[in-house]
Amino acid sequence: MGGGRAKAIMVQGTGSSVGKSVIAAALCRMFAQDGIDVAPFKAQNMSNNSYVTADGGEMGRAQVVQAQAAGIEPTTDMNPVLLKPEADSRSQVVINGKAVGSFAARKYWGDQSDVWREVTAAYDRLAAKHDVIVLEGAGSPAEVNLRDRDIVNMRMAKHADASVILVGDIDRGGVFASLLGTVELLEPDERKLVKATLINRFRGDMALLDPLPQMITERTKVPVLGVVPFLYDLQVKDEDGVTFGDYDPPANPTTLTIAVISLPRVSNHDDLDPFRRAGCRVRVVDQSAQLGDSHIIIIPGSKSSISDLQWMKSRGLDKAIKIAAQQGTTVIGICGGYQMLGESISDPERFESQTTDFEKGLGLLPVRTIFNQAKTTRRVEINVPTQDSGILAGVKAAGIGYEIHVGEAEITDKNASSLARLNNGNESWNDGLIASEGNVLGTYVHGFFDSPEILSRLLTNVAKTHGLPAPEIPEFSMEAEYYRLADHVRQSIDMDLLKSFIYS
């Protein structure tokens, strides 16, 4: 195509979780397959599931997935604003990859002129480098109470001069009313931008849909782009990365069971994906009695380590986890979870906590965490050394991950064993700890267990401890998933209509 400003297609939805992110990823891969230089964009994300770019910037995972589907390196221009909730009405605000502070909702949603300038500047930079931009909206464009401060949906569509595809989720029911109601609640100039609707996640006999698509076309005055059937076991993640819920494969007495603590401010819970793929039973728990006969307990990442630690204590989970560890259960802490496993978390300037500047940890690892204003965001290479004993016993293993955290770790036992050696190409350092008993470990690295080598070491040793067969770590290719998604959507929509949006 080449030359001038990029053509823009925008995926909006009748509400949250209708599949916008996945449809946008499919479009990115489809256009890339057709030789089109395409990039994703979302003005503002609200999620604690984030990622680190090559230059150390922080952005939402959805646009990372879409960039990977497009075959390009993710950059923060693809998601210039990221809101990371810390409480019900307060979020950390990340602009152009860097945290600029924490703000109450009322303050952030006040004068947004500065934020809008950053958003449009990021989009314009992106649109000058690529031929097509696939934009993603948020929630619904028909939230009338938010229209005057909505920078993600129609205001962004107008700036990009985008052809809007409105997605409805038929699996939820009421898709006709959702699509029609959304269109009718739009302002006339906004309605003109809607070029098609899309029915997503259909299950069953397609013939039973008639005459629904025709009725939607007649009432909305725009064509139905297609009906996308439900795609089972898809590994391409939606906006928040994974559904933070139970994964219960068919009953098998040899299956490893993992209890994941359901932290109120959980972050980056896609760290659980490798365990699901390995066939482990994953249970999300919020009561001490639910730990039951778990073989592994995971305390995942947290956006608010102190408040989530206090929440654990209020439910007796801290004591239950310590007892389980003493009885030989494997306990893993990732990022904020690692901090909670230590002796204490201090926040003297109250950068993270609004209620206290000190909280005693579980004391299972000899480390103290001290918060400061500096935030660590970096990609890392992981090297786990050969070990003769413990839950990571085995030959050396390697992987790739990333760090996103505040706080400095102070190791209180000079003889403590580090978990891994990290490097980012410029320097190297030790990460994490393994308890002397060998069954408790903590790491700052998200994606630590994405490495089949590291995951295999962990699960093999835990299984052996409990007299179970070692689980098989399946081969997994995200590229194959992108191709599967793209082919699925391509066969379900009117490709001529879609191409008319970028070639007209």
- 28 catalytic residue (yes or no): no
Distance (Å, rounded) from C-alpha 275 to C-alpha 175? 34
Residue (of 119, 113, 155) closest to 137 by Cα position: 155
What are the b/e assignments for 78-93, b being 16+ CB within 10 Å? Answer: bbbbbbbbbbeebbbb
Widest pairwise Cα distance in the chain: 73
Q: Using CA atoms, how far apart are residues 67 and 60, in angstroms rounded to an integer? A: 11
Contact 126, 50 (CB under 8 A): no
Q: How many CA atoms lie within 13 A of 181 on its CB side?
A: 13
Could you say which of 28, 280, 295, 335 is catalytic?
Answer: 335
Burial of 29 per CB tally in 10 Å (0-12, 13-18, 19+): buried
- Alpha helices by DSSP H, listed for 16-84, are 20-33, 61-70
Q: Is 289 exposed, middle or buried (0-12, 13-18, 19+ CB in 10 A)?
A: exposed
Identity of residue 390: G
3-state DSSP of 335-359 = CHHHHHHCCEEECCCCCCCCCCCEE
Please tell me which residue in 130, 159, 405, 446 is annotated as part of the active site.
Answer: 446
Which residues form the catalytic set? 335, 446
